Amino acid sequence: MLGIDPGLGVTGFSILESKKNQVRLAAYGTIKPNSKDTLPKRLNYLFEEVNKILDKFSPDVIVVEDAFYSKNVKSAMILGQARGSIILSAAQADIPVFEFAPRKVKMSVCGNGAASKEQVAYMVTKILKLKEPPKPLDISDSMAVGLCYINQARFL
Among 151, 148, 10, 145, CA closest to 64: 145
pLDDT on residue 71? 66
Specify whether 66 is catalytic: no
Specify whether 65 is catalytic: yes
The answer on pLDDT for 119 being more than 90 is yes
The answer on pLDDT for 9 being more than 60 is yes
Q: For domain 2-153, which CATH number applies: 3.30.420.10, 1.20.120.160, 3.50.50.60, 1.10.10.10?
A: 3.30.420.10
- The one catalytic residue in 65, 94, 99, 132 is 65
Domain boundaries, the chain: 2-153
Specify whether 132 is catalytic: no
Residue 115 pLDDT class (50, 70, 90 cuts): very high
- The one catalytic residue in 49, 55, 138, 141 is 138
